[in-house]
Structure formats: C-alpha cells, structure tokens
Amino acid sequence: MQTLDRITFQSEVMGGKPCIRGMRITVGTIVGLVASGKTTIDILSLYPYLEAEDIRQALIYAAWRAEEIEVPLYPAA
C-alpha cells in the first residue's frame, strides 16, 4: 500500500480514530460525505482547511480497511 502521510492517529484527537492531518476531521466523516453524494468541491467548501489530497487519501485508507479477509469456517462440533 502506498504511504498515506495525511492520515493520522492520536489518542487525544477524536479518541484515536483515523483523522486528516491531526485535525478533528475523521476518515469516517469524509467517507460519509462522499457516500451521501458530496463531491470533492462540496467537501472543500464545507471544510476550507482541507485539500483535495486529504479527501483522496481518506478514501484510499477506507478502501484498504474495508478489504475482505478470507477466514476458514469450520463446522460446529
């Protein structure tokens, strides 16, 4: 996976959730906005201190976290 240098984790900021550059904007907030139909331009106007690259990296991080992992299932004994 590429380096996501804009995604930060600090226990004192939003309880350690993944955030954008140490600010109080979580990856989940960005993903929710995109899922509700907001464009990058919309999000940047709502949060003028963000940059397009912040949004891009948030979506990359969320997609990486959402990847499925195969877990073998065994029948109950």
Please count the structural domains in the chain.
Answer: 1
Domain assignment of residue 61, yes or no: yes
pTM above 0.85, yes or no: no
Domain assignment of residue 29, yes or no: yes
Domain assignment of residue 46, yes or no: yes
Domain assignment of residue 74, yes or no: no
> Is the pLDDT at 1 greater than 90, yes or no?
no
User: pLDDT (tens digit, 9 = 90+) per residue, 22-74?
Assistant: 999 999 999 999 999 999 999 999 999 999 999 999 999 999 988 866 667 77
Domain assignment of residue 72, yes or no: no
Domain assignment of residue 26, yes or no: yes
Q: What's the CATH code of the domain at 54? A: 1.10.10.10
Per residue, the 3-state secondary structure of the chain, as one string, reads: CCCCCCEECCCCCHHHCCEECCCCCEHHHHHHHHHCCCCHHHHHHHCCCCCHHHHHHHHHHHHHHCCCCCCCCCCCC
Domain assignment of residue 41, yes or no: yes
Residue 24 lies in domain: 7-65
57 sits in which H/E element: helix 52-65
* Cα–Cα distance measured from residue 36 to residue 25, given in angstroms and rounded to the nearest whole number: 16
